[in-house]
Amino acid sequence: MAKNKPVKAATAQDEGRGSASAAPGRLRGWLGLGIVLAATAFLYAPARNHAFTNWDDDRQITANPDIRDLSPQSVRKMFSSFYVSLYQPLTSLSFAVEYRLFGLDPRVYHTTNVLLHLANILLVYVLARSLSQNGWIAVATAALFAVHPLQVEVAAWASSLSILLSSLFYLATLIAYVAYAKSGKARYFAAALALFVPALGAKTTAATLPLVLIAIDVYLQRKVSWRTVCEKIPFFLLAAVFGCITMLARSGVSRVQDYALKYSLVQRICIVCYCCLWYVGKLVFPAGLSAFYPFPVKTDGWLPVVFYLAPVLLIGLAVGIWRAGRYRRLLAFAALFMLASLVLVVQIIPVSELMVCDRYAYLPCFGLFFLAGTLGHRIGSQSPARMRGMVVALVLVLAALGVATQRRVGVWRNSLTLWNDVIGKRQDLWVAYQNRGMAEYETGDRKAAVADCDAALQLNPKADKALNIRAASYVQIGDRAAALRDFDSAIRLNPDSSYFVNRGILKRGTGDLAGALKDFSTVIELNPRHAGALCERADTYRMQANWAKAIADYEAVLRLNPAHAYAAFLLGAMRVETGDNESAAATLNKALALGYQDCGPAYFLLAQAYQKMGRMDLAKEALRRAQELGYKGPQTESRQTQGNQRP
């Protein structure tokens, strides 16, 4: 890459940049950043003890099979396939490393996110200082970025690792690019291009970065030339490649077409304009924040009036920026930075039931915060008294934002606190009632779960997941007839494999073994690698004393998941029944090594196998261990055959 002509240093009168007399020294700037980091760590300290939520944490982490293995084959799969309609291999790899080292300890995942947020605050400071050459502006920008309550969703939600990780490399890319733009040195350009790749690998929405580079060129007043155009081509090519991968990953998401057809082209344009203004509004006045902002409801085919006013307001803002005189470039940079980094998430092509999300403002807010810091410094640099006034104003604003952030962090403590907050703000969201019902089921409050699922189904009679949760709750309450009706209804709406498995477990509990086998076999026919259905069918065959088929299914489970301790125990038990004692002993020992919890029956069966093999010393030792654990008699069935549905 040929060197570009270095950007000329800005003057002290240029947006308040470069004024050595007014700007704090470099040391004071870093000291200010240290205070910001310490305050942010204090605000987010409670998040380290938060639990996982049922808002994507289950799909991304707790129930994600792709992060349970760090073998070369598994890593290759992360980089060559999609999970939950996303392509984020670097994020999946990070989750896998956390799981390998710490299991499913939520404190680790939340602590990682808080640390990444702190790292991003540092990079925001460096970027703002690189652009402005002013420590006051950099500290103000970093402080607003650090403690604004709109950032809580990203920093306090385990599943948002992708945004934090992508932002880390995104910001580093911008810093390297600014260094290149100012010096023309090729090594900075190469660093920027290299850092862009992991940003895309963590989350493909980083594909907006080439547009942000143009915004930076505007701010640095780089002249448009063939060099400044050609240097963007590699970034656009990388963005295009990952963009195509994202489209391929999302191609199976039916909501894209559903939401696109629900609104006319004019209405969708109005929604996009409203979304842009919404993010600006929430950054200026962050009240009424929620984890769920649905699309607007049409009345007689019309959107609320505010949506039709949004394009007019947006055009008015654009005209105002154009006529802003000496502030034009600064305002244009703030607007372009925000719009460019939002372009993939403002629902130009709707892909979910969410119109806007707090988390989407995580990086775009830099533009507005940099604008606020620069204007504040420009006002304060006019006199020492005004500078003191601006410092006091900044501290007061940060204190108010900090209080709101501390409250917002508490909302993300667990699933119940999260959905209580959503429902407290809106009572017409069926998803919120459904998810709170799931949280209540998991905490053992089945009657409350039924009530919330009732509310969800009143708002959306086609909520098949709510039917499944309510059915599982009915099982626990003891109303099997109602549970069976709900499972049947859920399957009619959506023949999901988990619904068939849950209904099969219920049928088995009522003695309908044939019906249970039919449900489990239906799932296995569609997906022969469904370990859960195979294990349940094996249990059912075992209840029929059909040892051969039970053994075959348990073996299939262990081929799919060699660490399945329950299947290893039951396989060992079946082998004891059929007289295959050597294999039984090996399998039972494997179950114990894998951490099978009900050790008493395992040691008792192991003693039987050793005894039949003539290994009396080992048999006595195994029997002694069983007795020490309080095991009182032979038993091979160690879990309930009913009531263990998973909603």
Phi, psi of 86, rounded to the nearest 5 degrees: -130, 150
pLDDT for the residue numbered 376: 94
Q: Is 355 helix (H, G, I), strand (E, B) or coil?
A: strand
pLDDT of residue 256 exceeding 50, the answer is: no
Q: Which residues, other chains included, contact 368 with Cβ-Cβ below 8 Å and sequence gap of 6+?
A: 280, 283, 284, 334, 338
pLDDT for the residue numbered 350: 64
Choice among 50-54, 64-68, 159-163, 460-464 with the minimum mean pLDDT? 64-68
The string of pLDDT tens digits covering residues 592-614 is 998 888 888 999 999 999 999 99
Contact 294, 255 (CB under 8 A): no
Report residue 263's pLDDT band, with 50, 70 and 90 as the boundaries. Answer: confident
Mean pLDDT of the region 190-219:
95
pLDDT of residue 8 exceeding 80, the answer is: no
Task: Pick 249 or 278 by higher pLDDT.
Answer: 278
Mean pLDDT of the region 394-398:
96
Mean pLDDT of the region 465-485:
96
Quote the mean pLDDT of the chain: 89
pLDDT for the residue numbered 251: 55
The CA distance from 70 to 260, in Å, is 39
Phi, psi of 594, rounded to the nearest 5 degrees: -80, -5
Q: Is 361 helix (H, G, I), strand (E, B) or coil?
A: helix
Choice among 103-107, 170-174, 510-514, 627-631 with the minimum mean pLDDT? 627-631
Report residue 543's pLDDT band, with 50, 70 and 90 as the boundaries. Answer: very high
pLDDT for the residue numbered 168: 98
Percentage of residues of the chain with pLDDT beyond 70 = 90
DSSP character at residue 300: T
The model's pTM: 0.87
Contact 362, 163 (CB under 8 A): yes
The string of pLDDT tens digits covering residues 490-539 is 999 999 999 999 999 999 999 999 999 999 999 999 999 999 999 999 99
Query: Per 3-state DSSP, what percentage of the chain is helix, strand, and coil (rounded to 5)?
Result: 75, 0, 25
Contact 372, 144 (CB under 8 A): yes
pLDDT for the residue numbered 258: 56
Mean pLDDT of the region 111-138:
96
The string of pLDDT tens digits covering residues 545-596 is 999 999 999 999 999 988 899 999 999 999 998 999 999 999 999 999 988 8
The CA distance from 37 to 289, in Å, is 24
Contact 138, 125 (CB under 8 A): yes
pLDDT of residue 142 exceeding 90, the answer is: yes
Q: Which H, E and C letters describe 412-479, residue by residue?
A: CCCHHHHHHHHHHHCCCCHHHHHHHHHHHHHCCCHHHHHHHHHHHHHHCCCCHHHHHHHHHHHHHHCC
DSSP character at residue 86: B
pLDDT for the residue numbered 180: 96
pLDDT of residue 283 exceeding 60, the answer is: yes
pLDDT for the residue numbered 9: 40
**What are 571's two structure tokens?**
């396989």
The string of pLDDT tens digits covering residues 404-450 is 999 999 999 999 999 999 999 999 999 999 999 999 999 999 999 99
**What are 329's two structure tokens?**
């470039």
Report residue 250's pLDDT band, with 50, 70 and 90 as the boundaries. Answer: low
